[in-house]
Amino acid sequence: MGGEPDGYEHEHAAGADDHRTRAVAELGEPDRVFQVGAGWLRAKLLVGVGLVVYGVVANYAWWVHGPQNFHHFVLHLLIWPPALGVGLLVHMFRQRGLVVLVYPAGLLRLRRGEVDSFPWAEVTAVRLKVQKAETAVVVRGPDGEPVSAWLPAEVPAVQMWTAGLTVVRADGVEAHFGPAIGSYDGLAREVQVRTFGRLWADAWGRFRAGEAVAFGDLSAAPAGLRHGGKLLRWAEVKEVSVAGGKLVVKQAGKWLGWATLKDVSDLPNPHVLFALVEEARKRAAPAPVPEPASGGREPGEDDEDL
C-alpha cells in the first residue's frame, strides 16, 4: 500500500491475527477495522442450519407421509426456506476469517492466511450491489463542488447474497465483501468516500472536456445520458435510482422508465455516476428569473396623463 515491504501481499501465515499485528506494527493503527463478529456469525449459522433442517423435515413429511402433490404454496413452504438456508451458509463460509483494515492510503484485506492491499490511488472501480436507492448522498465543499458521495448500503437479514461490495485494483485484482462483515454499511461508505476524489476528478475532467464517461452500458456525456443508442438530454432527466437491484433512469413527463439496467452491481462506480448526474442536471437547469426589487413600481404606475 505504498509503504509495504516486498512480499507483504499474498503472504501466508498462521492466521489473520498475525497479519493484523504485523500490519499495525509496520503501518500503524488503522482508521477503521471491519470483521465478521463471532456472535453475529453464530446467530446466522443457527438461522441457516435451522432453515435447512426445516426443509429436510418438511419435505420428508410432505413427500413421504403427506399428499405428495405439488401446489404453488409448496414452493414457498418446502423449497424456498432450505434454499435460503443453503445460500446463507455458503455466504457465511466464504466470509469466514475475514478482517478489513482501512488506512488513509488504502485498504488491507486479511483472509485465511492471505493479505491483499488496495491502495486508494490504484482502485479503478467500485461495484455495489444494492436493492434500493432513491439517490446518493453528495457532499459539497464551500465552492459548491462535490467532494464526496456514496450510496447507502443495506444489510439484509437473511438473503445475504442480495448485497455486496467489490473493489477492483488497476491490475485487475478484485476484493469482494459481503454483509456478513460487521458494520458492512459503514465499510461500503468508507470505500466509496475514500475512492471518490480521484475517480470523480477523472470522470468530471473528461466530462468537462466533452467526452462521454462510460458506466457499463450507460454513458454520461455533455449532451445527456446515452443507452442503447438513445439520448436523454439532461433537462429531460427526471431521476436516476435503484429499484429491485436495477438502475432505473426516468424521463420527465413519462410514466415508464426511459432505461433500465439489469443489475446495478455490474455498474462501475455508481457513487460517481449519481454525483455526475446531479451535477449535470444542476448545470442544465434554467437560471431562476430574478424577482423585481421590493418597493419598485410597475411600468406606467402613477404616470401622469400627458
DSSP state of 303: P
Identify the pLDDT of residue 13.
Answer: 37
Distance of alpha carbon 277 from the chain centroid: 16
Per the model's pLDDT, the better-predicted residue between 5 and 248 turns out to be 248
Q: State whether 147 and 84 are in the same domain.
A: no
Q: State whether 154 and 275 are in the same domain.
A: yes
CB crowding 228-242: b at 16 or more within 10 Å, else e: eeeebebebbeebbb
Establish if 77 belongs to a structural domain.
yes
Q: State whether 59 and 182 are in the same domain.
A: no
* pLDDT tens readout for residues 98-139: 789 999 999 998 876 678 899 999 999 999 999 999 899 999
pLDDT at 160 over 80: no
Per the model's pLDDT, the better-predicted residue between 295 and 6 turns out to be 295
Of 39-53, 61-75, 91-105, 257-271, the range with the highest mean pLDDT is 257-271
Amino acid in the structure at residue 225? L
pLDDT at 36 over 60: yes
* Mean pLDDT lowest among 43-57, 222-236, 252-266: 43-57
Query: Mean pLDDT over residues 86-104, rounded?
Result: 73
Q: State whether 151 and 54 are in the same domain.
A: no
CB crowding 253-272: b at 16 or more within 10 Å, else e: eeeebbbebeebbebbbbbb
CB crowding 174-189: b at 16 or more within 10 Å, else e: ebebbbbbbbbbebbb
Identify the pLDDT of residue 203.
Answer: 97
The sign of the CA dihedral 181, 186, 192, 198 is negative
Query: Mean pLDDT over residues 18-32, rounded?
Result: 77
* Mean pLDDT lowest among 36-40, 103-107, 215-219, 247-251: 36-40
Q: Which of 194, 25, 209, 9 is nearest to 105 (CA)?
A: 194
Query: Reduced to 3 states, what is the DSSP secondary structure of residue 189?
Result: helix
Q: Which of 129, 172, 170, 173 is nearest to 151 (CA)?
A: 129
What is the rounded CA–CA span in Å between residue 171 and residue 125? 11
How many domains does the chain fold into? Answer: 2
Establish if 211 belongs to a structural domain.
yes
Q: State whether 149 and 76 are in the same domain.
A: no
Q: State whether 238 and 158 are in the same domain.
A: yes
- Select from 46, 71, 94 the last residue of a domain: 94
- Which domain does 86 fall in, by range? 38-94
Establish if 8 belongs to a structural domain.
no
Identify the pLDDT of residue 2.
Answer: 46
* pLDDT tens readout for residues 232-261: 999 999 999 999 999 999 999 998 889 998
pLDDT at 9 over 50: no
What is the rounded CA–CA span in Å between residue 225 and residue 237? 8
The whole-chain average pLDDT of the chain stands at: 81
Of 59-63, 93-97, 98-102, 229-233, the range with the highest mean pLDDT is 229-233
* Mean pLDDT lowest among 153-157, 226-230, 239-243, 274-278: 153-157
Establish if 105 belongs to a structural domain.
no
Identify the pLDDT of residue 291.
Answer: 66
* pLDDT tens readout for residues 278-292: 999 998 877 666 666
